[in-house]
Amino acid sequence: MLYQKLARPVLFRTGGGDAERAHEFTLRWLTRLSTQRQARNALIKINQLNAPVTVCGIPFPNPIGLAAGMDKNGVATGAWPALGFGFAEIGTVTAQPQPGNPQPRMFRMRRSEGIVNRMGFNNLGAQALAAQLTSAPAVNCPLGISIGKSKAVPLEGAIEDYLISLRFLYPFADYIAINVSSPNTPGLRQLQDAGALRALLGALRTEGARLAAGRPARPLMVKIAPDLTEPAMAELLEVCLETGVAGVIATNTTLGRDGVDPSDDAIAAEPGGMSGKPLTQVSREIVRFVHRETNGALPIIGSGGIMTADDAQAMFDAGASLVQLYSGLVYNGPGLVRSSVRRYRSSARKGARTPQSSRRRA
């Protein structure tokens, strides 16, 4: 409540109310925290609650993680465990540095507790991220890295584009997220089609095995869109199982606008992907579908509309092994991380379904 009453109003006024400027202000503050070893370690002891789980062969101190998009260039990796996260996913990063779409490109729907963005994979590029991670402080939790296609690269060049990012970033990642589902890069979602996805995942798996040099390869996680039909999603999941990827992240932002309060209609009319509370039920149902369709064979990172600790637990109950926060962090603050871990631990003590220790690293 303290965050909602005091911190959030200040943040929402930062930069004249511009959501992206507030995001940048927050990230600068967290970047400074990331470099302050004593303060960072003290906060980790306070905030990072213990609820260990192993997924895809990776031990996580707790199953609540940061979603991609918050820290695209990996500048605040040390800060995320200090806020209580059990893992963090940085990016999405592309092989080529790119500015993203023209501003303004991020908008808050305050009554709906949602966000519309059309950022367009703005980032400094895979090579710059590798340099940043080389000199970054140690991260006290697993790190995922999300990679996507450079906008300037045509679809027929997508495989090599992803491979360039994989080669630069492989040594720094505990898992690699394959983003083929952002609505803000033209044509990107076509890579979710069975043939294109099979070719991409096959190439990434082969290259990952080469880079592993006889050691267990980094798990590959495919991030899927919430706008797929069930038959299309079933076909995508079949490809994931065929190619031996480690799991899926469900879901990315949506092009739909269901669940938006009428007072936010003007913002909802902005082009881009929507996240936050309007996505809560949609993403949960997709997690349930993925779990049922694969008979639990694919570990799931549940992402989308997790605004409360009960939302996080509902994701676990639907079949998620891990969950990620982004919009919930914006609207409800870092206390949501701790409350979600507590809710998970309480459910585990009562014998409720808990995340599975599913599948070793592929």
Structure tokens at 88: 């963090």
Question: Which residue ranges make up the annotated binding site?
Answer: 68-72, 92, 117-121, 146, 179, 184, 223, 251-253, 276, 305, 326-327
Task: At 27, give phi and psi (nearest 5°).
Answer: -65, -35
Strand 322-325 to 300-303 pairing: parallel
Annotated binding site for FMN: 68-72, 92, 146, 179, 223, 251, 276, 305, 326-327
Q: Is it true that the peptide bond before 94 is cis, omega within 30 degrees of 0?
A: no
DSSP 160-218: HHHHHHHHHHGGG-SEEEEE---TTSTTGGGGGSHHHHHHHHHHHHHHHHHHHTTSPPP
Q: What is the CA radius of gyration of the chain?
A: 19
Mind telling me the catalytic residues?
182
Q: State residue 361's pLDDT score.
A: 38
Spatial CB neighbours of 313, under 8 Å, sequence gap ≥ 6: 340, 343, 344, 347, 352
57: left (phi over 0), alpha (psi -120 to 50) or beta: left
Domains of the chain and any CATH numbers: 2-349 (3.20.20.70)
Which candidate, 230, 8, 272, places its Cα nearest to that of 115?
272
pLDDT at 353: 53
pLDDT of residue 36: 95
Question: Which residues, other chains included, contact 254 with Cβ-Cβ below 8 Å and sequence gap of 6+?
Answer: 183, 225, 226, 227, 273, 274, 275, 279, 282, 304
pLDDT given at position 309 = 98
Q: What is the pLDDT of residue 316?
A: 98
Contacts of 171 (CB under 8 A, 6+ apart): 130
Match 């918050």 to its residue by tokens. Answer: 70
Tokens of 94: 């592309």
- In this predicted structure, what is the pLDDT of residue 351? 76
Binding residues for substrate: 72, 117-121, 179, 184, 252-253
- Residues of the chain with pLDDT below 50 are 354-362
Q: Which of 233, 213, 354 is nearest to 294 (CA)?
A: 233
pLDDT digit string, tens, across residues 220-230 = 999 999 999 99
Asked if residue 182 lies in contact with residue 252, where contact means CB atoms within 8 angstroms, the answer is: yes
129 neighbors 90 (Cβ within 8 angstroms):
yes
